[in-house]
Amino acid sequence: MDHRFFLLSATALISVAPSLHATTYLTADQARELMFPGRKFTHEEVLLTPEQVRAITQASGIKPQSTRLQLWRGADGERFIVDEVLGRHEFITFALGLDAAGAVTDVEILQYNESYGSEIRLAAWRAQFTGKHDGAPLKLDQDIQNISAATLSCKHITEGVKRLLATDAIVLRPRSA
Amino acid sequence: MRLYRTPLRTGVLAVCVAVSLAHAPAGTAGEAVFGYIYTTDLLPKGKSEWEQWITDRRGQAYSRFDDFKLRTEYEYGITDNLQLGGYLNYSYLWARGNSVRHVTEGLDVPWNHDAGQSYRGARFDGVSAELVWRVLSPFKHPIGLAFYLEPAFGSRERGLEFRTIVQKNLLDDRLVLAANLMVEAEKERGSNLVDPGMPDDMPDSSRHKATYAEIDLGASYRFASHWSAGLELRNHNEFDGYSLAHSHQNHSAFFLGPNLHYGGKRWFFTLSALRQVHATTYTRQQADQMHSGMLFGDEHTQWDGLRLKVGYSFE
Protein backbone atom coordinates (compact mmCIF):
# COMPACT_ATOMS: atom_id res chain seq x y z
CA MET A 1 0.00 0.00 0.00
CA ASP A 2 1.40 3.35 -1.04
CA HIS A 3 1.08 6.58 0.95
CA ARG A 4 -0.82 7.95 -2.01
CA PHE A 5 -3.52 5.43 -1.13
CA PHE A 6 -4.52 7.62 1.79
CA LEU A 7 -4.59 10.81 -0.26
CA LEU A 8 -6.62 9.05 -2.95
CA SER A 9 -8.91 7.59 -0.32
CA ALA A 10 -9.44 11.00 1.22
CA THR A 11 -10.15 12.55 -2.16
CA ALA A 12 -12.51 9.72 -3.04
CA LEU A 13 -14.32 10.05 0.26
CA ILE A 14 -14.80 13.78 -0.24
CA SER A 15 -16.00 13.21 -3.80
CA VAL A 16 -18.42 10.38 -3.17
CA ALA A 17 -19.58 11.19 0.33
CA PRO A 18 -23.34 11.09 0.14
CA SER A 19 -24.91 14.49 -0.19
CA LEU A 20 -27.32 14.17 2.70
CA HIS A 21 -30.48 16.17 2.79
CA ALA A 22 -31.82 17.06 6.20
CA THR A 23 -35.22 15.70 7.09
CA THR A 24 -37.70 18.57 6.93
CA TYR A 25 -40.43 18.15 9.51
CA LEU A 26 -42.00 21.55 9.07
CA THR A 27 -41.55 24.48 6.72
CA ALA A 28 -41.29 27.95 8.22
CA ASP A 29 -44.85 28.75 7.11
CA GLN A 30 -46.20 25.53 8.64
CA ALA A 31 -44.41 26.19 11.94
CA ARG A 32 -45.65 29.77 12.08
CA GLU A 33 -49.23 28.63 11.42
CA LEU A 34 -48.89 26.05 14.20
CA MET A 35 -47.67 28.66 16.64
CA PHE A 36 -49.93 31.53 15.59
CA PRO A 37 -52.96 30.01 13.82
CA GLY A 38 -54.69 32.38 11.38
CA ARG A 39 -52.48 35.39 12.23
CA LYS A 40 -50.97 37.64 9.55
CA PHE A 41 -47.19 38.07 9.57
CA THR A 42 -44.75 40.15 7.55
CA HIS A 43 -41.34 38.74 6.68
CA GLU A 44 -38.13 40.74 6.96
CA GLU A 45 -34.47 39.84 6.84
CA VAL A 46 -32.58 41.51 9.65
CA LEU A 47 -28.87 42.24 9.17
CA LEU A 48 -26.98 42.39 12.45
CA THR A 49 -24.28 45.05 12.74
CA PRO A 50 -20.91 44.15 14.28
CA GLU A 51 -21.89 46.16 17.38
CA GLN A 52 -25.13 44.20 17.71
CA VAL A 53 -23.27 40.88 17.30
CA ARG A 54 -20.90 41.93 20.06
CA ALA A 55 -23.78 42.99 22.33
CA ILE A 56 -25.67 39.70 21.70
CA THR A 57 -22.53 37.67 22.37
CA GLN A 58 -21.88 39.58 25.58
CA ALA A 59 -25.47 39.29 26.79
CA SER A 60 -26.01 35.61 25.96
CA GLY A 61 -22.47 34.23 25.98
CA ILE A 62 -23.11 32.75 22.52
CA LYS A 63 -21.89 34.26 19.25
CA PRO A 64 -24.44 34.36 16.42
CA GLN A 65 -23.66 31.86 13.62
CA SER A 66 -24.82 34.36 11.02
CA THR A 67 -25.39 38.09 10.79
CA ARG A 68 -28.61 37.46 8.81
CA LEU A 69 -31.79 36.75 10.74
CA GLN A 70 -35.09 35.55 9.24
CA LEU A 71 -37.87 37.36 11.09
CA TRP A 72 -41.65 37.54 10.74
CA ARG A 73 -43.58 40.22 12.63
CA GLY A 74 -47.23 39.78 13.60
CA ALA A 75 -49.85 42.54 13.65
CA ASP A 76 -50.00 42.55 17.47
CA GLY A 77 -46.24 42.63 17.99
CA GLU A 78 -45.62 38.85 17.98
CA ARG A 79 -42.37 37.70 16.48
CA PHE A 80 -41.46 34.49 14.71
CA ILE A 81 -37.78 33.73 14.02
CA VAL A 82 -36.19 30.89 12.04
CA ASP A 83 -32.54 30.16 12.77
CA GLU A 84 -29.94 27.37 12.90
CA VAL A 85 -27.67 25.76 15.48
CA LEU A 86 -24.97 23.16 15.03
CA GLY A 87 -25.95 19.54 15.33
CA ARG A 88 -23.49 16.67 15.51
CA HIS A 89 -22.98 16.64 11.73
CA GLU A 90 -25.32 19.21 10.23
CA PHE A 91 -27.19 22.33 11.16
CA ILE A 92 -30.49 21.98 13.02
CA THR A 93 -33.10 24.47 11.80
CA PHE A 94 -35.53 25.63 14.44
CA ALA A 95 -38.22 28.26 14.90
CA LEU A 96 -38.90 30.46 17.90
CA GLY A 97 -42.22 32.17 18.59
CA LEU A 98 -42.32 35.20 20.87
CA ASP A 99 -45.25 37.22 22.22
CA ALA A 100 -45.28 41.00 22.10
CA ALA A 101 -43.51 41.19 25.47
CA GLY A 102 -40.67 38.92 24.33
CA ALA A 103 -41.67 35.71 26.13
CA VAL A 104 -41.33 32.37 24.33
CA THR A 105 -44.64 31.00 23.06
CA ASP A 106 -43.21 27.92 21.35
CA VAL A 107 -40.13 26.27 19.85
CA GLU A 108 -40.36 23.99 16.79
CA ILE A 109 -37.70 21.84 15.12
CA LEU A 110 -37.95 22.31 11.35
CA GLN A 111 -35.00 20.24 10.06
CA TYR A 112 -33.03 17.51 11.81
CA ASN A 113 -30.85 14.82 10.28
CA GLU A 114 -28.70 13.30 13.02
CA SER A 115 -28.43 9.60 13.85
CA TYR A 116 -29.51 10.14 17.44
CA GLY A 117 -31.21 12.91 19.34
CA SER A 118 -34.43 13.53 17.45
CA GLU A 119 -36.13 13.36 20.87
CA ILE A 120 -35.68 17.14 20.98
CA ARG A 121 -38.76 17.25 18.75
CA LEU A 122 -40.88 15.91 21.61
CA ALA A 123 -43.47 18.46 22.71
CA ALA A 124 -42.69 17.86 26.39
CA TRP A 125 -39.05 18.86 25.93
CA ARG A 126 -39.84 21.93 23.82
CA ALA A 127 -42.51 23.02 26.31
CA GLN A 128 -39.77 23.78 28.84
CA PHE A 129 -39.02 26.96 26.88
CA THR A 130 -42.56 28.34 27.02
CA GLY A 131 -42.68 31.57 29.00
CA LYS A 132 -38.89 32.01 29.06
CA HIS A 133 -37.66 35.51 28.44
CA ASP A 134 -34.37 37.29 28.00
CA GLY A 135 -32.33 36.91 31.17
CA ALA A 136 -33.59 33.40 32.00
CA PRO A 137 -30.68 31.01 32.81
CA LEU A 138 -31.48 28.65 29.91
CA LYS A 139 -28.91 26.10 30.98
CA LEU A 140 -29.04 22.33 30.65
CA ASP A 141 -29.90 20.50 33.87
CA GLN A 142 -30.82 23.82 35.51
CA ASP A 143 -34.01 25.27 34.03
CA ILE A 144 -33.93 23.02 30.94
CA GLN A 145 -33.83 19.26 31.48
CA ASN A 146 -31.46 17.35 29.24
CA ILE A 147 -32.34 14.27 27.18
CA SER A 148 -29.33 12.05 27.77
CA ALA A 149 -29.23 10.50 24.30
CA ALA A 150 -29.48 13.96 22.72
CA THR A 151 -27.19 16.08 24.86
CA LEU A 152 -25.44 17.99 22.07
CA SER A 153 -28.72 18.84 20.33
CA CYS A 154 -30.38 19.84 23.64
CA LYS A 155 -27.42 22.04 24.52
CA HIS A 156 -27.25 23.78 21.17
CA ILE A 157 -31.02 24.37 20.86
CA THR A 158 -31.03 25.76 24.42
CA GLU A 159 -28.13 28.05 23.56
CA GLY A 160 -29.84 29.03 20.31
CA VAL A 161 -33.00 30.07 22.16
CA LYS A 162 -30.94 32.02 24.69
CA ARG A 163 -29.08 33.80 21.87
CA LEU A 164 -32.31 34.66 20.03
CA LEU A 165 -33.89 36.00 23.23
CA ALA A 166 -30.88 38.30 23.63
CA THR A 167 -31.16 39.26 19.95
CA ASP A 168 -34.81 40.06 20.46
CA ALA A 169 -34.10 42.23 23.49
CA ILE A 170 -31.20 44.09 21.87
CA VAL A 171 -32.27 44.36 18.22
CA LEU A 172 -35.87 43.37 17.53
CA ARG A 173 -37.90 44.70 20.46
CA PRO A 174 -36.44 48.23 20.35
CA ARG A 175 -37.49 48.37 16.67
CA SER A 176 -41.00 47.18 17.56
CA ALA A 177 -41.43 49.82 20.24
CA MET B 1 -20.04 20.79 1.68
CA ARG B 2 -21.03 23.77 3.82
CA LEU B 3 -18.07 25.48 5.42
CA TYR B 4 -18.46 27.12 8.80
CA ARG B 5 -17.95 30.84 9.19
CA THR B 6 -15.03 31.05 11.54
CA PRO B 7 -11.58 32.57 11.65
CA LEU B 8 -10.14 29.05 11.94
CA ARG B 9 -11.64 28.03 8.61
CA THR B 10 -8.94 29.60 6.52
CA GLY B 11 -6.19 28.03 8.59
CA VAL B 12 -7.68 24.56 8.49
CA LEU B 13 -8.27 24.77 4.74
CA ALA B 14 -4.68 25.89 4.25
CA VAL B 15 -3.47 22.89 6.26
CA CYS B 16 -5.65 20.52 4.22
CA VAL B 17 -4.51 21.98 0.91
CA ALA B 18 -0.87 21.90 2.00
CA VAL B 19 -1.24 18.28 3.08
CA SER B 20 -2.81 17.36 -0.26
CA LEU B 21 -0.23 19.21 -2.31
CA ALA B 22 2.61 17.59 -0.42
CA HIS B 23 1.14 14.17 -1.30
CA ALA B 24 1.32 13.35 2.39
CA PRO B 25 -1.28 10.94 3.62
CA ALA B 26 -4.26 12.93 4.74
CA GLY B 27 -6.44 12.03 6.84
CA THR B 28 -14.90 8.15 17.99
CA ALA B 29 -16.10 4.68 21.76
CA GLY B 30 -18.97 6.13 19.53
CA GLU B 31 -18.10 7.89 16.31
CA ALA B 32 -14.33 8.25 16.10
CA VAL B 33 -13.02 11.62 14.98
CA PHE B 34 -9.47 10.41 15.69
CA GLY B 35 -7.58 7.44 14.35
CA TYR B 36 -5.82 6.49 17.58
CA ILE B 37 -7.16 8.71 20.34
CA TYR B 38 -10.38 7.87 22.13
CA THR B 39 -12.98 10.47 23.06
CA THR B 40 -15.77 10.39 25.64
CA ASP B 41 -18.47 10.13 22.94
CA LEU B 42 -20.49 6.99 23.57
CA LEU B 43 -23.48 5.36 21.94
CA PRO B 44 -26.84 6.13 23.52
CA LYS B 45 -28.56 3.36 25.49
CA GLY B 46 -29.82 0.56 23.26
CA LYS B 47 -27.98 1.80 20.14
CA SER B 48 -25.26 -0.15 18.41
CA GLU B 49 -22.54 0.37 15.84
CA TRP B 50 -20.31 -1.72 13.60
CA GLU B 51 -16.74 -0.60 12.89
CA GLN B 52 -13.99 -1.90 10.64
CA TRP B 53 -10.42 -0.76 11.19
CA ILE B 54 -7.56 -1.24 8.73
CA THR B 55 -4.15 -0.16 9.97
CA ASP B 56 -0.95 -0.41 7.95
CA ARG B 57 2.14 -0.37 10.16
CA ARG B 58 4.38 0.52 7.28
CA GLY B 59 8.11 0.67 6.67
CA GLN B 60 11.08 -0.36 8.76
CA ALA B 61 14.82 0.09 8.18
CA TYR B 62 15.02 -1.34 4.66
CA SER B 63 13.03 -2.80 1.77
CA ARG B 64 9.44 -3.79 2.41
CA PHE B 65 7.36 -3.95 5.56
CA ASP B 66 3.55 -3.72 5.62
CA ASP B 67 1.84 -5.09 8.70
CA PHE B 68 -1.90 -4.75 8.07
CA LYS B 69 -3.86 -4.94 11.31
CA LEU B 70 -7.57 -5.49 10.84
CA ARG B 71 -10.21 -5.16 13.49
CA THR B 72 -13.94 -5.80 13.22
CA GLU B 73 -15.91 -4.36 16.09
CA TYR B 74 -19.46 -4.28 17.39
CA GLU B 75 -20.33 -1.68 20.05
CA TYR B 76 -23.49 -1.43 22.13
CA GLY B 77 -24.74 1.24 24.52
CA ILE B 78 -25.74 -0.50 27.77
CA THR B 79 -26.69 2.84 29.28
CA ASP B 80 -26.09 6.36 28.02
CA ASN B 81 -22.82 6.35 29.95
CA LEU B 82 -21.68 2.74 29.66
CA GLN B 83 -20.67 1.06 26.41
CA LEU B 84 -19.60 -2.48 25.66
CA GLY B 85 -17.74 -3.62 22.56
CA GLY B 86 -16.30 -6.80 21.12
CA TYR B 87 -13.49 -7.12 18.55
CA LEU B 88 -12.15 -9.72 16.17
CA ASN B 89 -8.47 -9.03 15.47
CA TYR B 90 -6.63 -10.41 12.46
CA SER B 91 -3.68 -9.36 10.34
CA TYR B 92 -1.73 -9.73 7.12
CA LEU B 93 2.03 -9.18 7.06
CA TRP B 94 4.27 -8.68 4.04
CA ALA B 95 7.95 -8.27 4.94
CA ARG B 96 11.17 -8.55 2.99
CA GLY B 97 14.64 -7.53 4.23
CA ASN B 98 13.03 -5.03 6.60
CA SER B 99 15.26 -5.09 9.66
CA VAL B 100 18.38 -3.13 10.57
CA ARG B 101 20.34 -6.28 9.58
CA HIS B 102 18.56 -6.09 6.21
CA VAL B 103 16.90 -9.48 6.72
CA THR B 104 13.25 -10.43 7.18
CA GLU B 105 12.77 -10.38 10.94
CA GLY B 106 11.16 -8.61 13.86
CA LEU B 107 7.74 -7.17 14.57
CA ASP B 108 5.05 -9.81 13.99
CA VAL B 109 7.29 -12.07 11.84
CA PRO B 110 6.81 -15.61 13.30
CA TRP B 111 9.62 -16.73 15.63
CA ASN B 112 10.47 -19.75 13.44
CA HIS B 113 10.56 -17.93 10.08
CA ASP B 114 13.81 -18.07 8.07
CA ALA B 115 15.07 -14.45 8.08
CA GLY B 116 16.69 -14.99 4.70
CA GLN B 117 13.30 -15.39 3.03
CA SER B 118 10.57 -12.83 2.52
CA TYR B 119 7.38 -13.40 4.50
CA ARG B 120 3.74 -13.07 3.54
CA GLY B 121 1.06 -14.38 5.80
CA ALA B 122 -2.37 -13.84 7.28
CA ARG B 123 -3.42 -14.89 10.73
CA PHE B 124 -6.20 -14.58 13.25
CA ASP B 125 -4.77 -12.69 16.23
CA GLY B 126 -7.55 -13.13 18.73
CA VAL B 127 -10.48 -11.42 20.34
CA SER B 128 -10.83 -8.47 22.65
CA ALA B 129 -13.57 -6.61 24.45
CA GLU B 130 -13.96 -3.05 25.62
CA LEU B 131 -15.94 -1.43 28.38
CA VAL B 132 -16.17 2.37 28.48
CA TRP B 133 -17.65 4.26 31.40
CA ARG B 134 -18.26 7.98 31.00
CA VAL B 135 -18.21 9.95 34.21
CA LEU B 136 -18.46 13.49 32.82
CA SER B 137 -19.88 14.70 29.49
CA PRO B 138 -17.99 17.45 27.65
CA PHE B 139 -21.34 18.90 26.57
CA LYS B 140 -22.53 19.42 30.16
CA HIS B 141 -19.38 19.71 32.23
CA PRO B 142 -16.18 21.73 31.82
CA ILE B 143 -14.44 18.56 30.64
CA GLY B 144 -15.45 15.09 29.54
CA LEU B 145 -13.99 12.16 31.47
CA ALA B 146 -14.23 8.44 30.76
CA PHE B 147 -12.46 5.22 31.72
CA TYR B 148 -11.77 2.41 29.27
CA LEU B 149 -10.91 -1.23 29.88
CA GLU B 150 -9.90 -3.66 27.13
CA PRO B 151 -8.94 -7.27 27.80
CA ALA B 152 -7.44 -9.06 24.77
CA PHE B 153 -6.90 -12.78 24.27
CA GLY B 154 -5.03 -14.45 21.43
CA SER B 155 -2.47 -17.12 20.64
CA ARG B 156 0.30 -14.55 20.36
CA GLU B 157 -0.73 -11.75 22.71
CA ARG B 158 -2.76 -11.61 25.91
CA GLY B 159 -3.20 -8.33 27.67
CA LEU B 160 -5.27 -5.89 29.66
CA GLU B 161 -5.43 -2.23 28.62
CA PHE B 162 -6.66 0.59 30.81
CA ARG B 163 -7.21 4.08 29.47
CA THR B 164 -8.25 7.38 31.01
CA ILE B 165 -9.93 9.65 28.46
CA VAL B 166 -10.21 13.41 28.90
CA GLN B 167 -11.99 15.64 26.40
CA LYS B 168 -12.47 19.37 26.14
CA ASN B 169 -14.79 20.94 23.57
CA LEU B 170 -14.34 24.52 22.41
CA LEU B 171 -15.76 26.86 19.75
CA ASP B 172 -19.36 25.70 20.01
CA ASP B 173 -18.20 22.04 20.20
CA ARG B 174 -16.52 22.28 16.79
CA LEU B 175 -13.02 21.96 18.25
CA VAL B 176 -12.41 18.73 20.17
CA LEU B 177 -9.28 18.41 22.28
CA ALA B 178 -8.63 14.95 23.69
CA ALA B 179 -5.99 13.34 25.87
CA ASN B 180 -5.58 9.64 26.73
CA LEU B 181 -3.41 8.08 29.37
CA MET B 182 -3.02 4.38 28.59
CA VAL B 183 -1.37 1.56 30.50
CA GLU B 184 -1.36 -1.99 29.18
CA ALA B 185 0.09 -5.13 30.71
CA GLU B 186 0.72 -7.84 28.15
CA LYS B 187 2.20 -11.27 27.57
CA GLU B 188 3.55 -11.41 24.03
CA ARG B 189 5.17 -14.18 22.02
CA GLY B 190 8.55 -13.22 20.57
CA SER B 191 9.35 -12.81 16.88
CA ASN B 192 12.33 -14.19 14.96
CA LEU B 193 14.36 -11.04 15.69
CA VAL B 194 18.04 -11.67 16.35
CA ASP B 195 19.95 -9.25 18.56
CA PRO B 196 22.73 -7.80 16.34
CA GLY B 197 24.95 -7.72 19.43
CA MET B 198 24.45 -11.44 20.09
CA PRO B 199 23.95 -12.97 16.62
CA ASP B 200 24.40 -16.54 17.88
CA ASP B 201 21.35 -16.34 20.18
CA MET B 202 18.35 -18.11 18.68
CA PRO B 203 14.83 -16.62 18.81
CA ASP B 204 12.40 -18.48 21.06
CA SER B 205 8.65 -18.90 21.12
CA SER B 206 8.07 -18.15 24.79
CA ARG B 207 5.84 -15.29 25.88
CA HIS B 208 7.45 -12.23 27.45
CA LYS B 209 5.82 -9.93 29.98
CA ALA B 210 5.74 -6.28 28.99
CA THR B 211 4.02 -3.08 30.06
CA TYR B 212 3.12 -0.28 27.68
CA ALA B 213 2.33 3.27 28.76
CA GLU B 214 1.13 5.90 26.38
CA ILE B 215 0.17 9.55 26.47
CA ASP B 216 -1.88 10.56 23.45
CA LEU B 217 -2.96 14.08 22.55
CA GLY B 218 -5.23 15.18 19.73
CA ALA B 219 -7.16 18.08 18.27
CA SER B 220 -9.94 17.79 15.72
CA TYR B 221 -11.76 20.74 14.19
CA ARG B 222 -15.09 20.45 12.39
CA PHE B 223 -14.50 22.78 9.44
CA ALA B 224 -17.71 22.00 7.52
CA SER B 225 -20.93 20.05 7.92
CA HIS B 226 -19.90 16.38 8.32
CA TRP B 227 -16.14 17.04 8.02
CA SER B 228 -13.42 17.31 10.67
CA ALA B 229 -9.65 17.43 10.39
CA GLY B 230 -6.94 17.48 13.00
CA LEU B 231 -3.65 16.28 14.42
CA GLU B 232 -2.67 13.43 16.73
CA LEU B 233 0.42 12.91 18.84
CA ARG B 234 1.29 9.61 20.56
CA ASN B 235 4.06 9.01 23.03
CA HIS B 236 4.55 5.26 23.44
CA ASN B 237 6.73 3.80 26.19
CA GLU B 238 7.63 0.17 26.75
CA PHE B 239 8.85 -1.53 29.92
CA ASP B 240 10.14 -5.02 30.68
CA GLY B 241 7.89 -7.09 32.94
CA TYR B 242 4.88 -5.70 34.77
CA SER B 243 6.46 -2.46 35.87
CA LEU B 244 6.45 1.24 35.05
CA ALA B 245 9.79 1.90 36.75
CA HIS B 246 12.28 3.75 34.59
CA SER B 247 14.85 1.06 35.36
CA HIS B 248 12.62 -1.36 33.40
CA GLN B 249 12.05 1.02 30.49
CA ASN B 250 13.15 -0.07 27.03
CA HIS B 251 12.23 2.88 24.91
CA SER B 252 10.07 5.95 24.34
CA ALA B 253 8.82 6.84 20.87
CA PHE B 254 6.76 9.71 19.46
CA PHE B 255 4.31 9.62 16.54
CA LEU B 256 2.66 12.62 14.93
CA GLY B 257 0.26 13.04 12.04
CA PRO B 258 -3.00 14.35 10.60
CA ASN B 259 -6.48 12.91 10.54
CA LEU B 260 -9.57 13.48 8.44
CA HIS B 261 -13.08 12.48 9.46
CA TYR B 262 -16.44 12.33 7.71
CA GLY B 263 -19.59 11.68 9.73
CA GLY B 264 -22.96 11.09 8.11
CA LYS B 265 -26.29 10.05 9.58
CA ARG B 266 -25.36 6.36 9.59
CA TRP B 267 -21.82 6.07 8.18
CA PHE B 268 -18.51 7.57 9.21
CA PHE B 269 -14.97 7.33 7.86
CA THR B 270 -11.76 8.35 9.62
CA LEU B 271 -8.30 8.41 8.08
CA SER B 272 -5.16 9.04 10.10
CA ALA B 273 -1.45 8.82 9.36
CA LEU B 274 1.06 8.83 12.21
CA ARG B 275 4.77 9.08 11.45
CA GLN B 276 7.50 8.13 13.91
CA VAL B 277 9.19 11.45 14.65
CA HIS B 278 11.48 10.62 17.56
CA ALA B 279 12.65 7.66 19.63
CA THR B 280 14.84 7.27 22.69
CA THR B 281 16.19 3.89 23.75
CA TYR B 282 17.33 2.83 27.21
CA THR B 283 19.04 -0.50 26.52
CA ARG B 284 21.83 -1.61 24.23
CA GLN B 285 19.53 -4.12 22.49
CA GLN B 286 17.00 -1.39 21.69
CA ALA B 287 19.70 1.03 20.58
CA ASP B 288 20.85 -1.59 18.07
CA GLN B 289 17.39 -1.43 16.46
CA MET B 290 17.66 2.30 15.72
CA HIS B 291 18.03 3.35 12.09
CA SER B 292 17.79 6.89 10.64
CA GLY B 293 16.67 8.21 14.02
CA MET B 294 13.75 5.76 14.26
CA LEU B 295 13.23 2.61 16.33
CA PHE B 296 12.31 -0.61 14.53
CA GLY B 297 13.01 -4.21 15.56
CA ASP B 298 10.09 -5.73 17.44
CA GLU B 299 8.75 -2.31 18.30
CA HIS B 300 7.75 0.18 15.65
CA THR B 301 7.53 1.20 12.01
CA GLN B 302 8.11 4.44 10.11
CA TRP B 303 4.37 4.96 9.70
CA ASP B 304 2.81 3.57 12.88
CA GLY B 305 0.39 3.65 11.38
CA LEU B 306 -1.80 4.53 8.47
CA ARG B 307 -5.33 3.86 9.69
CA LEU B 308 -8.77 3.83 8.08
CA LYS B 309 -11.87 3.36 10.21
CA VAL B 310 -15.32 2.85 8.76
CA GLY B 311 -18.37 2.74 10.99
CA TYR B 312 -22.10 2.18 10.62
CA SER B 313 -24.70 3.06 13.24
CA PHE B 314 -27.74 0.81 13.53
CA GLU B 315 -31.20 2.17 14.26
B304 or A1, greater pLDDT: B304
Is residue B8 included in any domain, yes or no? no
Cα A138 to Cα A158: distance, rounded to the nearest angstrom = 6
Cα A84 to Cα A37: distance, rounded to the nearest angstrom = 23
Is residue B12 included in any domain, yes or no? no
Is residue B70 included in any domain, yes or no? yes
Residues forming a β-bridge with B164: B147, B181
Contact yes or no for A10 and B80 at CB 8 A: no
- How far does B214 lie from chain A, in Å, by closest CA? 25
Is residue B6 included in any domain, yes or no? no
> How many independent structural domains does chain B possess?
1
What does the pLDDT look like over B53-110, one tens digit per residue?
999 999 999 999 999 999 999 999 999 999 999 999 999 999 999 999 999 999 999 9
Asked if B313 reaches chain A (Cβ–Cβ under 8 Å), the answer is: yes
Asked if A33 reaches chain B (Cβ–Cβ under 8 Å), the answer is: no
What does the pLDDT look like over A23-35, one tens digit per residue?
889 999 999 999 9
Range of the domain at B35: 28-314
Task: Give the nearest partner residue to A6 out of B26, B137, B264, using CB atoms.
Answer: B26
What does the pLDDT look like over A109-153, one tens digit per residue?
999 988 778 889 999 999 999 999 999 999 998 999 999 888 999
Is residue B293 included in any domain, yes or no? yes
Confidence (pLDDT) at B46: 92
Confidence (pLDDT) at B1: 64
Cα A147 to Cα A92: distance, rounded to the nearest angstrom = 16
Confidence (pLDDT) at A176: 55
CB pairs under 8 A between A and B: 99
What does the pLDDT look like over B47-62, one tens digit per residue?
999 999 999 999 999 9
Q: Band of the pLDDT at B226, cuts 50, 70, 90? A: very high
Q: What is the pTM of this model?
A: 0.86
What does the pLDDT look like over A11-21, one tens digit per residue?
554 554 444 45
Is residue B142 included in any domain, yes or no? yes
What does the pLDDT look like over B228-259, one tens digit per residue?
999 999 999 999 999 999 999 999 999 999 99
Task: For residue B110, give the CATH number of its domain.
Answer: 2.40.128.130
Residue range B157-182: mean pLDDT, rounded: 96
Nearest in space to B60 (alpha carbons), one of B114, B123, B103: B103
H helix or E strand, kind and range, residue B302 = none
Cα A167 to Cα A138: distance, rounded to the nearest angstrom = 15
Is residue B284 included in any domain, yes or no? yes
Is residue B10 included in any domain, yes or no? no
Q: With a cut of 50, say whether residue B144 has pLDDT above it.
A: yes
Cβ neighbours for B154, distance < 8 A, ≥ 6 positions apart: B89, B124, B125, B126, B127
Q: With a cut of 80, say whether residue B5 has pLDDT above it.
A: no
Q: With a cut of 60, say whether residue B25 has pLDDT above it.
A: no
Contact yes or no for B25 and A116 at CB 8 A: no
